[in-house]
Amino acid sequence: MQTHNDIWQELATHHGYLLKVARRLTPNDALAQDVVQDTLLTACEKFNQFQGKSSLRTWLTTILKNRLRDTWRADKRWVAPLTLGEDGVEDFDALFEGAGHWEKETFVQWRSPEQLVSEQQFISVLDDCMKKLPAKTGQVFMMSQVLEMSTDEIRGELDITASHLWVLLYRARMTLKLCLEKNWLGLASA
């Protein structure tokens, strides 16, 4: 039978991850720390409801998402919608030549996915590149990919159209691809 202390210790092992995520979705560090503390306290209170259907980290991420949504609603300025042009004017046209095909000179082929995903360097550079995403692009990418919010949930928080959302996610992925290629020569296949 787990004691309260055992539960708290186990939850605390996820503190670093939760803080890393919260920092990218709150306007300042103090708020991020508060949100993570609230998340862990909630998780401790509700621990008997955790049935192990998902991993503990997944369950904690869901609680974090709900705590974050509370902070966003409390201060709508931080998640205020931007018009598409405000988050950088990148539209990636330079990567494609006149007829709409990939520009041969700039296209980079990567090594195999299985190899890359198993390498710490890949995850490190990805982490840096995620941090460098422009504000709104980065928020949307985190909400979608890390918090696993649905299109409707994201649109609910940001008050944007579905097509605006898809453009932001496309930009996020293209920007990450280019950032990875720029920052790690080991990414490319021979």
Partner 1 sequence: MRKHHGCAAIILSKMTANGEATVFQLKCKDASMLMAHSQDESLPWCKRVQLRAHLMMCHRCRGFNRQMQTLSQGVRKWKEQSD
Residue nearer to partner 1 on the CB measure, 74 or 94: 94
Does 85 help bind partner 1 (rule: CB under 8 A)? no
- Is residue 177 within the footprint of partner 1 (CB under 8 A)? yes
109 binds partner 1 (CB under 8 A): yes
Compute the distance between CA of residue 60 and CA of residue 10 in angstroms, rounded to an integer: 12
**Helix boundaries (H) for the chain:** 4-12, 15-23, 29-45, 56-74, 113-117, 120-131, 135-141, 151-158, 162-183
- Binding-site member from 32, 157, 176, 184 for partner 1 (CB under 8 A): 176
Task: Give the footprint of partner 1 on residues 2-21 (CB under 8 A).
Answer: 13-14, 16-17, 20
Rounded to whole angstroms, the Cα distance separating 160 from 153 reads 11
Report the C-alpha gap between 131 and 68 in whole angstroms: 18
Provide the sign of the torsion angle of the four alpha carbons 173, 77, 66, 61, taken in this order.
Answer: positive
* Contact region with partner 1 (CB under 8 A), list: 33-41, 45-53, 73-81, 116-124: 116-124
| Residues at the site binding partner 1, with contacts judged by CB under 8 A | 13-14, 16-17, 20, 57, 61, 92-93, 96, 99-102, 107, 109-110, 113, 116-117, 122-123, 126-127, 130, 144-146, 151, 166, 169-170, 173-174, 176-177
